[in-house]
Amino acid sequence: MVGTLVNTGSIIAGSLVGFLASKKLKTTSSPLLTQAMGLLTSILGFQMALKANSSSLMLTLLLSLVLGAIIGELLHIEEFLERLGERASSLLKFQGGGIARGFVAATLLFCVGPMAILGSISDGLKGDFQLLLLKSIMDGTASVFLTSTLGIGVIFSAVPLFLYQGGLTLLARFFAAQVPESLILALTVSGGAIIVLLGFHFLGVKKFKVANFLPALILAPIFQEIFQRLIPG
């Protein structure tokens, strides 16, 4: 779990730097930083989602997002994460309402994506954490600017990231089996679509309940396995 530990540390360090330097960063380019983050996030999401180049993957993407959003709404995932962030704000006696916003946005950004999944699995199966080291640099840099614009709540995203990536690494190490390419592709495509929504959220296009789409990541590989058997190509 070396890669996950480094990734967690990079987010904590980056968040602290962003918090301490927030005044200097805010005075010059706060809106621009948020917009740049939204633009880059959207581009990354589109690159991932556009890998749905087959009929089975397109059906997987459609059904996993629709049913995932319905499940997320019923479970109130977005509201749960916001309450979690506000709880952290209350316990640590921080002032302001940006804790939940930063926590939710950073958790989604750092946890949803192919690098988190592939890097954790690679670390667990082969002990190769190079991909997670690269992700650590990206996440650490992003956390500096996220914290300067969204607040110290970003630092708390290190906890779900540690549990999420660490859990994937331990599972991969336990099963020690070859991960099917179709599974990774389905997760990448559905994760990319969710990241696009997150990018639009940053850009102020509309306030999406992005976290409510997270069940799609569980449904995507299930649907992909079914459709691969039913639909050729």
The domain limits of the chain are: 2-17+34-228
- Sign of the Cα torsion 223, 225, 226, 230 reads positive
Q: Helix crossing, 114-126 with 181-203: angle to 10°?
A: 140
Question: Which pLDDT score, from 0 to 100, does residue 233 have?
Answer: 54
pLDDT for the residue 95: 46
Model confidence pLDDT, tens digit, residues 6-19: 999 999 999 999 88
Q: Angle, to 10 degrees, between the axis of helix 2-20 and the axis of helix 158-175?
A: 170
Residue 24: predicted pLDDT: 64
Q: Under a CB-based contact definition with an 8 Å cutoff, are residues 154 and 141 in contact?
A: no
Gap between the Cα atoms of 58 and 10, Å rounded = 35
Task: Locate 150 and state its tokens.
Answer: 């969204």
Which residues, given as ranges, of the chain have pLDDT below 70? 22-31, 33-34, 37, 84-98, 112-114, 118, 176-179, 231-233
Phi-psi region of 232 (alpha: psi -120 to 50; beta: other; left: phi over 0): beta
pLDDT of residue 73: 93
| Residue 93, SS3 per DSSP | coil
Confidence (pLDDT) at 100: 73
- Written as six digits, the tokens of 60 are 């997987």
| Cβ-Cβ contacts under 8 Å for 32 (sequence gap 6 or more) | none
